Amino acid sequence: MPETLPRVSREIRLVEVPSGLPGPEHLTVAEVPIPVPGAGEVLVRNRWFQVFPSLRTLIAGGVPGTPFPPLRPGDALFGPAVGEVVTAGGDGGLRPGDLVAHFRGWREYAAVPASAPLGESLPDPAAHLAPGATAYAALTRIARLRAGETVFVTGGAGAVGSLAGQIARRLGAARVIGSTGSPAKAGRMTAELGYDAVVLRDGGPIGAQLAEAAPDGVDVVVDAVGGEQLRAAVAAARPGARVVVVGTLATQLSAAAGGTTAPVELDAFQLIARNITVRGFTGVDAETGAEWTERFGAWLRSGAVTFPHTRIAGIERAPLALRELFDGRHVGTVVVETWS
State pTM to two decimals: 0.95
Q: Find, among 124, 136, 131, the residue nearest to 303 by Cα.
A: 124
Quick one: average pLDDT of 145-172?
98
Structure confidence by residue, pLDDT tens digits, 88-101:
876 668 999 999 99
**Helices H / strands E in the chain, number of each:** 10, 14
Report whether 45 contacts 339 (CB < 8 A).
yes
Structure confidence by residue, pLDDT tens digits, 212-263:
999 999 999 999 999 999 999 999 999 999 999 999 999 999 999 989 999 9
DSSP line for 67-115? SSPPP-TTPBP-B-EEEEEEE--TTSS--TT-EEEESB-SBSEEEEE--
Q: Find, among 117, 132, 119, 107, the residue nearest to 42 by Cα.
A: 117
Structure confidence by residue, pLDDT tens digits, 305-329:
999 999 999 999 999 999 999 999 9
C-alpha–C-alpha distance, residues 164 and 319, integer Å: 27
| DSSP-derived secondary structure letter, 223 | E
| Helix locations, the chain, DSSP H | 55-59, 132-137, 161-170, 183-192, 206-213, 227-235, 249-252, 268-273, 286-302, 318-326
Q: Compute the chain's Rg from CA coordinates.
A: 20
C-alpha–C-alpha distance, residues 57 and 259, integer Å: 5
C-alpha–C-alpha distance, residues 117 and 160, integer Å: 24
Residues 287-317 as b or e (16 or more Cβ within 10 Å = b): eeeebbbebbbebbeeeebbbbbbebeebee
Q: Is the pLDDT of residue 65 over 70?
A: yes
